[in-house]
Amino acid sequence: MKNIFITFLILMVVWILLNNSVQINILIPGLITAFIVSLLVCRQCEIFTDYKLTPKAFAYTIIFLFVFFIELIKSNLDVIKRVLSPSLPINPGIVEVKTTLKSKFARMMLANTITLTPGTLTVEVKDESFFIHWIDVQTDDIEKAGNEIVKKFEKYLEVIYG
Amino acid sequence: MELVGAIFTLIGALVLLVASIGLIRMPDVYNRLQVGTKASTLGTIFSLFGLVLVNPGWAGKLILLIFFVMMTNPVSSHVLARAAYFIKIPLTRRTVVDKLKVSDSALKVKAD
């Protein structure tokens, strides 16, 4: 039920953004199509089962997007600096970090976020371990690397997906 | 407004330029993916955002595009990196640590 509802909401938002208007004669076909599609596609899917439909989770989603965007810009400045400096100051390696997140969707979001943030790229996910290619390895200790890479996002995702 | 939009688009283009320089300069496939993912994501976002400012009528569609780029780019580069690792494309000689190699003897048997 929750899956169908969230899929429906997302489809509706996409429809409105694509049409760029909220007139009633445009909204109604969208409503019908989104309803049918979400029923057909999402009878068995369980992507959003862990998403909490509370105001707090919603607020944290917004904050998370902001934090994410700031980290994205920071990571880009960092990469640009490395690429343009003549000595190519990289120190690459693959490190392991552990996550405490249980939900599949939250883990996917975390892996995505890691990939888009400063100098890190998720190479493999196995059980609780993320193997991360780090362009500038500072420590190969699981705990310390975890603090450095995943902690700042984990605390938001924990609230959002539980 | 048009001027600001043009400046944003220009910044985006410059970031994309740096990304392509990075592709040439980086020593192995993983570092290239790093540069490729990050810089191209921000470059695309800036260019599209500049377009939003120049032509506000397209805002909805362009925001959708930005969102799709942000969601799909990391997935594709993760899959590429994973595939590259499991067909044993070597890491560069400057690599300092490789935890995955140590801990995945079980997975290696499966891959062979």
**Is residue B10 predicted with pLDDT exceeding 90?**
yes
What does the block give as tokens for A38?
A: 């979400």
* Domain total of chain B: 1
pLDDT in tens, B54-104: 888 888 888 888 888 888 888 888 888 888 888 877 777 766 667 666 655
Candidates B40, B48, B42; CA nearest to B65 is B48
**Residues of chain A scoring pLDDT < 70:** 46-53, 118, 140, 162
Phi-psi sector, B96: left (phi>0), alpha (psi -120 to 50), beta: alpha
Partners of A129 in beta bridges: A98, A126
Q: Do A91 and B82 touch (CB under 8 A)?
A: no
Q: Do B42 and A73 touch (CB under 8 A)?
A: yes
Closest Cα of chain A to B97: distance in Å?
5
Q: What pLDDT sits at residue B18?
A: 86
pTM of the predicted model as reported, rounded to 2 decimal places: 0.76
Q: Is A65 on the interface with B (CB under 8 A)?
A: no
Residues of chain B found within 8 Å of residue A120, distances taken between Cβ atoms = 34
Query: CA angle at residue B39 from B36 to B40, to 5 degrees?
Result: 70
pLDDT in tens, A84-127: 887 777 777 788 787 777 777 778 888 888 887 767 788 887 77
Which of B42, B60, B64 lies closest to A76 in CB terms?
B42
| Sequential DSSP letters for A22-37 | --HHHHHHHHHHHHHH
Which of A14, A95, A115 lies closest to B99 in CB terms?
A95
Candidates A112, A105, A4, A25; CA nearest to B67 is A112
Domain ranges of chain A: 2-41, 55-161
**Is residue B110 predicted with pLDDT exceeding 50?**
no
Q: What pLDDT sits at residue A140?
A: 67
pLDDT category at B13 given cuts 50, 70, 90 is: very high
Per DSSP bridges, beta strands A93-98 and A120-126 are unpaired
Closest Cα of chain B to A56: distance in Å?
23
Q: Do A17 and B73 touch (CB under 8 A)?
A: no
Query: Could you list the residue range(s) of the whole structural domain that residue B37 is in?
Result: 2-111
ipTM of the complex: 0.74
